[in-house]
């Protein structure tokens, strides 16, 4: 499965300056997850799509979830590193 972190530069530990940016990105990824889920649910409810199309929507949803979880874990690691350094 594709990992979002494969294409992203290494992040430095969270600092006061970039915490807001990281949280904004996490919120954007969460909205993307919600949007993908809503699209999948509506497509399935209407029943007008083929199974292959539904599978593609489901895969897009899983990729969005994977990106969100990956970013959330990275942010949590940064918080932990910062806490340990204090």
Q: What is the pLDDT of residues 22-60, one digit of tens each?
A: 889 999 999 999 999 999 999 999 987 899 999 999 999
Instruction: Return the pLDDT at 3.
Output: 39
Q: Is the pLDDT of residue 70 over 90?
A: yes
Answer yes or no: are the C-beta atoms of 71 and 4 closer than 8 Å: yes
CB 43 within 8 A of CB 49: yes
Contact 4, 67 (CB under 8 A): yes
Q: What is the pTM of this model?
A: 0.73
Provide, rounded to the nearest whole percent, the portion of the chain with pLDDT above 70. 80
Query: Residue 17: pLDDT above 70?
Result: no
Residue 10 has pLDDT above 90, yes or no: no
């Amino acid at each position: 499965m594709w990992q979002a972190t494969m294409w992203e530069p290494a992040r430095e530990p969270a600092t006061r300056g970039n915490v807001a940016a990281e949280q904004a990105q996490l919120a954007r990824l969460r909205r993307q997850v919600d949007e993908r889920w809503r699209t999948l649910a509506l497509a399935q409810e209407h029943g007008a799509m083929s199974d292959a199309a539904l599978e593609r929507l489901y895969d897009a949803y899983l990729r969005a979830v994977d990106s969100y979880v990956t970013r959330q874990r990275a942010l949590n690691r940064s918080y932990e590193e910062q806490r340990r350094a204090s």
